[in-house]
Amino acid sequence: MSEPTHADKEKKKTIPPSLSGRRALPPNISNAEEDEVPVMEMTGLVPRGFNLKDFLEVKEVHMFKGDQDVNKQEHHTDKYYHPKLIVRRGQPFLIQIDFNRPYKPEKDQFWVEYLIGRYPQQNKGTYIPIPLVEELQSGTWGAKITWKDDSSIRLSIMSAPTCIVGKFRLYVAVLTPYGILRTKRNPETDTYILFNPWCPEDSVFLDDEKEREEYVLNDLGVVFHGDINSIKSRSWNYGQFEEGILDACLHLMDRAKLDLSGRGDPVKISRVGSAVINAKDDEGVVAGSWDNIYAYGVVPSAWTGSVDILLEYHSSGMPVRYGQCWVFAGVFNTFLRCIGIPGRIVTNYSSAHDNNANLQLDVFVDEEGKMDSKLTKDSIWNYHCWNEAWMARPDLPVGFGGWQVVDSTPQENSDGMYRCGPASVQAIKHGHVCFQFDAPFVFAEVNSDIVYSKAMKDGTRVIEHIDKTHIGKFILTKEIGSDGTKDITEQYKFQEGTEEERLALETALMYGIKKVTQDTMEQAGTDVDMDFQVENAILGSDFKVTVTFRNNSHTRYTATAYLSGNIVFYTGVTKNEFKSHTFDVTLEPLASKISEVLIKSSEYMSQLLEQASLHFFVTARLNETKKILAKQKTSVLQIPKLHIKVPGEKVVGKEMSVIVEFTNPLNQKLVNVLVRLDGPGLLRTTTKMFREIPKNSTLTWEEKSFPRQAGIRKLIASLNCDALRHVYGELDLEVERKPLM
């Protein structure tokens, strides 16, 4: 073969690197980038003396884009703090065009064009010429003249309910005998088109108005945390309508390199969203940290909402530090609601994290009954937050649309990236884990068994007990229209022991989910039952663990019992053991025996982690039979609250005073205390550092603000320092409209 010539080399240089000889155009993956569109597209020769004024010319385009104008009111976009026109697809909106002279349909021809991205193509939906029609038809683009007055006309424009979601550029094109004349590029006419849960033809259609108000329009939410025996809640400011958030959310799809032609599909968008919200492998929005070390970042528990996180990421392009599951879920929910996909946060209590997705969490004890931490690898999260997004699933059989699990917390790799979903909740409930995406993982999170095995010295393992009810015991979301809990456990699983539950499990097994085999099942029921309760306690106080034994037989038994108290992360991972206590019990026939173990604050306070989670593992060995009894429970200590007060009047546009108070309950001073205050529509998120709060003294912080929105609003505050985290306070208040003069 001959060497390539200099001309060949130069020609190769001119080919964009992304084409590589395979594509006619590079991938169209940026909403922000745009190509110049010619103002004049002339065809053939233009005669001398050609004068533009002889033809119809566009003088101005009015978008009716004010908060009180018809477009934003009818499209439910009036809450967006944004100067441009924002509409929802599949629903008509109005624009007005002023020409240089009256429009004459018999001789003038014009049309409206919408373009998105750099390489507009009609077959990709990135170039949309909108034809003038006599009557608008749902399901397709069209423009109808609804009003004429002198040199002005008004158009009602219908968008397709499947069109791309993003920011479009608008042009008006006029056909002349010598070619096309277009309006100049005018950012003031840019139009944001969003998903439309109000449109029956949109794949995110939701037919209940109260649900639409909650899952699309509510900019405040509640995150449930704590543990199954002590459910705690905190408010979260989604802030999807705040200034800059819509552009920040559209930017995420650019960062995810989702082709513009795929941005009309909520399945694709929610899947790439679950990847780009975390920074694990793609420099996404939030960097996770679960090791209690938060250098050069914000402690996860300090965040009160998504706004600061998204704005910082949009401006810096660097992952925001730090987040844990509820932060990922809160930011993801903002993204979903902002672009029009109904979304909600779900909390699964006692959530299985099992990398094999085999429905089995293994806990090993030695022959003495003590837990073997080297062999026990699987963890049970006290709780785990994920999101549900509402959409049709045309890629699945009929019946599997509706709520879909999407999870942006980086747990497991899915198709080469840390992401999860969308997985149909209905498919998970019925065991149809063959349907994409990531259904086996979610099925295991809510359906796993805890298998307690005795690890013998000769290397064999004996299954002592299988707990079938501990995992996925309670699955919650926020109640519609209130801050209360809505139990949705039965949307994920049938009741334990029912025929339907057995059938769902058999279906999942048929599709490849692994489960402990029948020949290794636990030994027959025991003569002795054991359970324990942890007393509810305030952080910094002593409390008791009460262990109850019940001898169901006519035989007298003796047992050696062992209680292990551990400081744990909320993910169930142990930091260290703070209490080790062995005691002997004698169990008389057909009788109960109660033993109490005192836990002193001095034993746990110096080692406590941020969510004040204590994990207790109690085992007992029956000396006569060598049978092992085992139980584990997590207890979350009660953390003191912040108090917020707003004295005086609360009126839009008038100065309002907000007072935050906190009394240090610990027997030590608190240092470097960061307080964060947030209130959508009331004030911008603000923080203040207090160098020291002596024991039993009270911190007071007063902040002035000018409320922007009337109605029921919420103030949210958080307090964080090394000794105390997850301290929250909130206040609902009603803001009055400014009185008319």
Please tell me what DSSP assigns to residue 336: H
Between CA 676 and CA 716 the distance in angstroms is 8
Between CA 135 and CA 150 the distance in angstroms is 22
What the block records as the tokens of 20 is 């590589």
Task: Tell me: cis bond preceding 177? Omega within 30 of 0 counts.
Answer: no
Cβ count within 10 A of residue 716: 24
Is residue 460 within 8 Å of 440, Cβ to Cβ? no
Is residue 180 within 8 Å of 40, Cβ to Cβ? yes
Q: Who contacts 705 (Cβ-Cβ below 8 Å, separation ≥6)? A: 655, 656, 658, 679, 682, 683
- Which residues lie across from 477 on neighbouring strands? 346, 486
Between CA 728 and CA 741 the distance in angstroms is 39
Is residue 617 within 8 Å of 731, Cβ to Cβ? no
Please tell me what DSSP assigns to residue 216: I
Per-position DSSP letters for 184-201, written without gaps between them: PP-GGG-EEEE--TT-TT
Per-position DSSP letters for 452-514, written without gaps between them: EEEE-TTS-EEEEEEESSSTT-EEEEEPTTSSSEEE-HHHH-PPTTSHHHHHHHHHHHHTT--
One-letter amino acid for residue 105 of the chain = P
Q: Who contacts 711 (Cβ-Cβ below 8 Å, separation ≥6)? A: 734, 735
What the block records as the tokens of 439 is 């259904």
Q: Positive or negative CA dihedral for 679, 297, 673, 600?
A: positive
- Which residues lie across from 560 on neighbouring strands? 584, 621
Strand, coil or helix: 545: strand
Cβ count within 10 A of residue 571: 20
Cβ count within 10 A of residue 258: 23
Between CA 96 and CA 140 the distance in angstroms is 21
Q: Which residue has the tokens 């639409």?
A: 212
Is residue 408 within 8 Å of 328, Cβ to Cβ? yes
Question: Dihedral through CA 325, CA 326, CA 330, CA 332, nearest 10?
Answer: 20
Question: Dihedral through CA 81, CA 84, CA 90, CA 93, nearest 10?
Answer: 110
**Inter-CA distances, 21 with 26, 121, 330, 690, Å:** 10, 19, 43, 61
Instruction: Identify the helix (H) or strand (E) that includes residue 227.
Output: strand 220-227
Between CA 547 and CA 571 the distance in angstroms is 25
Q: Which residue has the tokens 């002339």?
A: 42
Is residue 608 within 8 Å of 567, Cβ to Cβ? yes
Buried b (16+ CB within 10 A) or exposed e, 628-656: bbbbbbbbbbebbebbbebeeebbbeeeb
**Inter-CA distances, 53 with 101, 103, 171, 729, Å:** 10, 14, 19, 65
Active site residues: 325, 384, 407
Strand, coil or helix: 74: helix
